[in-house]
Amino acid sequence: MSEEKKIPYKIYLEESEMPQKWYNVRADMKNKPAPLLNPGTHEPMTAAELEGVFCQELVAQELDNENPYIDIPQEIRDFYKMYRPSPLVRAYCLEEKLGTPAKIYYKFEGNNTSGSHKLNSAIAQAYYAKKQGLKGVTTETGAGQWGTALSMACSYFDLDCKVFMVKVSYEQKPFRREVMRVYGADVTPSPSETTDVGKAILAAHPGTTGSLGCAISEAVEVAVKNPGYRYVLGSVLNQVLLHQSVIGLETKAALDKYNIKPDVIIGCAGGGSNLGGLIAPFMGEKLRGEADYRIIAVEPASCPSFTRGVYAYDFCDTGMVCPLSKMYTLGSDFIPSANHAGGLRYHGMSPVLSQLYDDGLMEAVSVEQTKVFEAAEQFARVEGILPAPESSHAIRVAIDEALKCKETGEEKTIVFGLTGTGYFDMVAYEKFHDGQMNDYIPTDEELAEYRKHLPQV
Ligand SMILES: *Cc1c(COP(=O)(O)O)cnc(C)c1O
């Protein structure tokens, strides 16, 4: 038996080895992410202003660029123990199938009912809302992963949960909607007549099937107008990346147990939360000059914020009620082609990752969706797990990197984030099987048109 095979298929941590603190990569960044700006005055948002929309403790985390470690409260660690530590899997079967000398590992976050990593932040946000004595929280959801995770977290802490779900998903994806209702959430299709911004959007665009940006505006309005409610968001924000650092900390602890040093770390990027979490401790070492890693963000060719967007202040939502955020963006009214089925549809990207990318500390690639689903199936057939389309963006690039190693003979160690399962995405798989999926890539002219609407800051 070779030295290699001593590494088990799954590296688990003991409960006692689970992280007790989140890691805040901003503390080690020389160039900090740009502050959120008030959309009216273009001045940096103060804590007091932000506390009208977000929970107090979460605002403190959002603005904290200094403290590298933040305690994970015991209540959250206890909840984490129900579905964490998540396994770090050595993809022996995939390696063999590919015939690659590369060593491939993936961190699997799909082992909970919500089916993705989003629960890691949902439970933290619900905890701080409860601790503040709030009645409930509002949010938006697209296909439903975030709404599902938040519903679970809110029911655990006995909080009211109001979810605005993009109308097209509400109608076409009833399963996640019903999971949310199992956990007691109140789910409204967006745009709706229940908010001023919803009414305005419906008046301007009758028959619209909604968008994430529009659902965000509605959720924020309801939070601001109802005493005892705050708005919570499942990605993009600094606080969300902080909570998701639990993924990277566990990954690093598992690798360290076997003295494994990754060469390449790969993750899919929608708003950037799973990738930001996975890479956090590795990026920290890189920023402190202790180690070097190649870090790759993978995004859809039909929603290419990093690879074809601009680094600028932009609106986070269509209704323009949220603070302005400096990020790689395609413009806040960008909506991917109707044929796009792979998720990761948000027009912008985490300000933390945007700054790191701008500083040349990480790379980004975009991939076409049929190639993503090919990789998803190749993976499912050897590793067993049916991956979410979002996660499969990372699988695609991990396979591509492993195949490059096959050509060069390099025995690189590749780690990627497998963010979730795809059981509720079978309509997308069906499109792929039936040859109804195309690889529409926006033209430069189209992207330039969306960019015209960026705010002048
Ligand atoms: C939401 C989601 C993503 C993308 O969100 P990030 O904030 O970029 O991590 C990726 N994978 C799955 C399974 C998701 O549900």
Distance CA 213, CA 220 (A): 11
Cα of 269 from ligand 1 centre, angstroms:
7
What is the structure's pLDDT at 117? Answer: 98
What is the structure's pLDDT at 321? Answer: 79
Task: Give yes or no for residue 269 CB within 6 A of ligand 1.
Answer: yes
Beta strands in 284-341 (DSSP E): 294-300, 310-315, 324-329
What is the structure's pLDDT at 335? Answer: 84
> 390, 392, 416, 421: which to mutate for ligand 1, most atoms within 8 A of CB?
390
Alpha carbon distances (Å) from 373 to 90, 390, 419: 21, 10, 15
Q: 1 pLDDT band (50/70/90 cuts)?
A: very low
Q: Does the structure show a pLDDT above 70 at 5?
A: no
H or E segment and range at residue 406: helix 389-408
When the pLDDT of each residue in the chain is averaged and rounded to a whole number, the result is: 95
Cα of 419 from ligand 1 centre, angstroms:
7
From the CA of 115, give the closest atom in ligand 1: 13
What is the structure's pLDDT at 3? Answer: 52
DSSP string across 71-103: E--HHHHHHHHHH-SPPEEE-HHHHHHHT-SSE
Tens of pLDDT along 189-219? 999 999 999 999 999 999 888 888 889 999 9
CA atoms within 13 A on the CB side of 97: 14
Q: Strand 294-300 to strand 363-367: parallel, antiparallel, or no bridges (unpaired)?
A: parallel
> 109, 150, 240, 268: which to mutate for ligand 1, most atoms within 8 A of CB?
268
Radius of gyration of the chain (CA): 21
**Neighbour tally for 204: CB within 10 Å:** 9
Task: Give yes or no for residue 392 CB within 6 A of ligand 1.
Answer: no
Alpha carbon distances (Å) from 12 to 1, 89, 267, 386, 388: 22, 9, 20, 21, 22
Task: Give yes or no for residue 344 CB within 6 A of ligand 1.
Answer: yes
Cα of 117 from ligand 1 centre, angstroms:
7
Instruction: Give the mean pLDDT of 331-344.
Output: 87
Q: 42 pLDDT band (50/70/90 cuts)?
A: very high
First CA to last CA across the chain, in angstroms?
62
Task: Give yes or no for residue 147 CB within 6 A of ligand 1.
Answer: no
Task: Give yes or no for residue 245 CB within 6 A of ligand 1.
Answer: no
Nearest to 261 by CA among 270, 273, 252: 252
Cα of 140 from ligand 1 centre, angstroms:
14
Task: Give yes or no for residue 277 CB within 6 A of ligand 1.
Answer: no
Cα of 203 from ligand 1 centre, angstroms:
32
> 114, 274, 418: which to mutate for ligand 1, most atoms within 8 A of CB?
274
Task: Give yes or no for residue 350 CB within 6 A of ligand 1.
Answer: no
This prediction's pTM: 0.97
What is the structure's pLDDT at 312? Answer: 98
What is the structure's pLDDT at 208? Answer: 87
> 106, 112, 116: which to mutate for ligand 1, most atoms within 8 A of CB?
116
Task: Give yes or no for residue 198 CB within 6 A of ligand 1.
Answer: no
Tokens of 58: 């979460």
What is the structure's pLDDT at 211? Answer: 84
> 316, 419, 421, 424: which to mutate for ligand 1, most atoms within 8 A of CB?
419
Cα of 420 from ligand 1 centre, angstroms:
8
Instruction: Give the mean pLDDT of 256-277.
Output: 97
Task: Give yes or no for residue 272 CB within 6 A of ligand 1.
Answer: yes
Cα of 5 from ligand 1 centre, angstroms:
32
Task: Give yes or no for residue 235 CB within 6 A of ligand 1.
Answer: yes
Cα of 427 from ligand 1 centre, angstroms:
18
Instruction: Give the mean pLDDT of 226-253.
Output: 97
Three-class SS state of 208: coil
Distance CA 388, CA 138 (A): 25
Cα of 391 from ligand 1 centre, angstroms:
7
Nearest Cα residue to atom 2 of ligand 1: 390
Task: Give yes or no for residue 312 CB within 6 A of ligand 1.
Answer: no
Task: Give yes or no for residue 417 CB within 6 A of ligand 1.
Answer: no
Strand partners, 90: 105
What is the structure's pLDDT at 343? Answer: 87
Instruction: Give the mean pLDDT of 423-431.
Output: 94
- Residue 226, judged by CB atoms within 10 A of its CB (0-12, 13-18, 19+), counts as middle
